[in-house]
């Protein structure tokens, strides 16, 4: 009797498994080329450390590997979060990566404009490494969640966990903004506006865009 073809899904396709292996290689490479990358990312989340990797210089290829890891984890998180049924395609995943890159580019442009207009460069120079570390910590936490969604197909519970991680990430962003930009009650409004316009709205827009793709 001929076997029935498997329905396309995150846990029936082969490419997600190979992708997760490649992402593991990326984060291991980043840690090997830039020791304590992961530990520093978590440590600076709860402190006012100013440097991204402690006292050592940034390794270019380590940074490339880390950037690929974070980009691909975010894109896969969006895909799995928005996916319900239908073909789970690597081509769609590639399109989502491009969507994430576009949103990051636009957000970075607006952040640069705000920094320039309000003369916030000294504050931003201290804030951005910690913001980058927040992303690293979030992606490291998301990795095993994605692994379980791919291998065990438990979608609902994991999606709620992703929402929880995103909420904690936004809370971490607000804390870091307060640490580096707070200079009185009047600054609270700007900090909340920044969080809304450059974090929450882009995140919601990315989810909506990905939903249209999947």
| Both tokens assigned to 171 | 């809370």
Mean pLDDT estimate for the chain:
84
The residues, ordered by sequence, that sit 6+ positions from 197 with a Cβ below 8 Å of its Cβ are 110
Which pLDDT band, with edges at 50, 70 and 90, does 1 fall under? very low
Angle at 72 between CA 92 and CA 162, to 5 degrees: 95
Summarize pLDDT for 119-170 with one digit per residue, the tens: 778 888 888 888 989 999 999 999 999 998 888 766 778 888 999 999 998 8
Which pLDDT band, with edges at 50, 70 and 90, does 6 fall under? low
Summarize pLDDT for 24-64 with one digit per residue, the tens: 999 999 999 988 888 888 887 766 555 444 445 678 899 99
pLDDT at 211 over 70: yes
Angle at 137 between CA 22 and CA 146, to 5 degrees: 45
pLDDT attached to residue 149: 86
pLDDT attached to residue 143: 95
2-6, 44-48, 87-91, 162-166 — which is least confidently predicted? 2-6
The structure tokens 């329905």 sit at 7
Range ranked top by mean pLDDT from 3-7, 65-69, 210-214:
65-69
The structure tokens 């073909």 sit at 87
Q: Are the CB atoms for 33 and 62 separated by under 8 Å? A: yes
Give the closest residue to 211 by CA, choosing from 67, 69, 86. 86
The residues, ordered by sequence, that sit 6+ positions from 209 with a Cβ below 8 Å of its Cβ are 99
Please give the Cα distance from 22 to 150 (Å, whole number). 15
Question: Where would I find the H helices in the chain?
Answer: 15-33, 37-43, 60-82, 90-117, 121-152, 156-181, 186-195, 201-213
Domain ranges of the chain: 15-213
Q: Distance from CA of residue 106 to its chain's centroid?
A: 16
Average pLDDT over residues 99-118: 87
pLDDT attached to residue 35: 86
Burial of 114 per CB tally in 10 Å (0-12, 13-18, 19+):
middle
pLDDT at 75 over 50: yes
CB < 8 Å & 24+ apart, contacts of 193-200: 194/114, 195/170, 197/110, 198/107, 198/110, 198/111, 198/114, 199/170, 199/173, 200/170
pLDDT at 16 over 80: yes
Please give the Cα distance from 137 to 214 (Å, whole number). 27
pTM comes to: 0.87
């Amino acid at each position: 009797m001929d076997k029935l073809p498997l329905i396309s899904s995150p846990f029936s396709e082969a490419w997600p498994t190979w992708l997760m292996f490649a992402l593991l290689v990326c984060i291991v490479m980043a840690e090997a080329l830039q020791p304590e990358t992961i530990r520093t990312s978590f440590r600076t989340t709860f402190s006012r450390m100013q440097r991204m990797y402690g006292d050592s210089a940034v390794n270019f290829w380590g940074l490339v590997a880390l950037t690929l890891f974070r980009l691909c984890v975010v894109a896969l998180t969006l895909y799995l979060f928005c996916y319900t049924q239908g073909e789970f395609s690597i081509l769609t995943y590639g399109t989502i990566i491009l969507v994430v890159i576009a949103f990051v580019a636009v957000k970075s442009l607006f952040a640069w404009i705000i920094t320039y207009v309000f003369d916030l460069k000294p504050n931003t120079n201290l804030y951005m490494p910690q913001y980058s570390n927040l992303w690293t910590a979030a992606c490291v936490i998301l990795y095993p969640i994605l692994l379980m969604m791919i291998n065990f197909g438990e979608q609902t519970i994991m999606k709620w966990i992703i929402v929880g991680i995103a909420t904690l990430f936004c809370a971490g962003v607000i804390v870091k903004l307060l640490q580096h930009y707070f200079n009185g009650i009047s600054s609270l409004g700007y900090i909340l506006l920044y969080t809304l316009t450059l974090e929450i709205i882009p995140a919601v827009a990315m989810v909506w865009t990905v939903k249209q793709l999947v």
